[in-house]
Amino acid sequence: MNDIINELQNIGFTKYESQIYISLLKESPLTGYEISKLSGVPQSKVYENITKLLNNNIIINVGTDPIKYVPISPNELLKNKKEEFNNSMDKLKNNLQILNKGKNIEYVLNIKGDKNILKKAIEMIKNAKQEIIISCPYEEILELKKELLIAYKKNINIEILLLENKNLEGLDNIHIHGGNKTTLENKMLYKGIILIVDNNEILTGNLSEGNEAISIWTKNSNILYIGVQYIKHEIYISEQIKGGYKNEQD
């Protein structure tokens, strides 16, 4: 019961309103006095909370002598709350963007842990509009492959820089760090990620230390410039080295 009350409070109910609504779901119609007895809401508080629920169309009064109350169905309640939430989010999105218009936010966000880093990478890839440039180990590319394929089908340009000469079915523009010759030293030297989306945001840091992995995300133009230049240089080198591998789509 406490869990349900907590969840109702999460969507805007007070504790007393939650108790009243739950009591009416269990048994209705009820008078205000009966609601107080069943719900445990003090009589001195029950009618003001009933009035709030009536005003919010969460319960309905029936009859006149005496007045009794019934709840709307849980499905109707959740549908209404979802619509209210979505409407509020749309209004906030528009109004906050107006307030923030013209501001150049270049803060740096620290992200800890492989799972959180990959979660951020997936979010960035999903939001890409024009270009994705990524350099990271093959194992992590596999974690991101589903989103990369979706982006590829949207005709988003994708450039991938890998440590190992491995194929990624369905994707092209795959370049091998240092050409075809992959050494243990190369793998040990580089266990990180650089992901740049639309030349507008960058995620970079290490990936292979489990919960100790730390990466940063930012829109800082200087960090973006360094990341773009680094990956483009490595791609250029990989294509110049004899035997450099590039997987071409049929």
The pLDDT value given to residue 71: 96
The answer to whether residues 115 and 217 belong to one domain is yes
The values of phi and psi at residue 70, to 5°, are -130, 150
- What is the tally of structural domains in the chain? 2
Residues of the chain predicted below pLDDT 50: 182-185, 188-189, 242, 244-250
Question: To which residue do tokens 């169905």 refer?
Answer: 73
The answer on 113 and 224 residing in a single domain is yes
Query: Is the domain of 112 the same as that of 211?
Result: yes
CA end-to-end span of the chain: 59
Shared domain check, 114 and 20: no
- For position 183, what pLDDT does the model report? 47
Instruction: Compute the CA torsion angle 140, 145, 151, 154 (nearest 10 deg).
Output: 160
Total Cβ atoms within 10 A of residue 206? 15
* 198 DSSP 8-state letter: T
SS3 7: helix
Query: Which domain covers residue 195, as residue numbers?
Result: 108-240
pLDDT at site 166: 73
Of the residues 27, 49, 72, the one at which a domain ends: 72
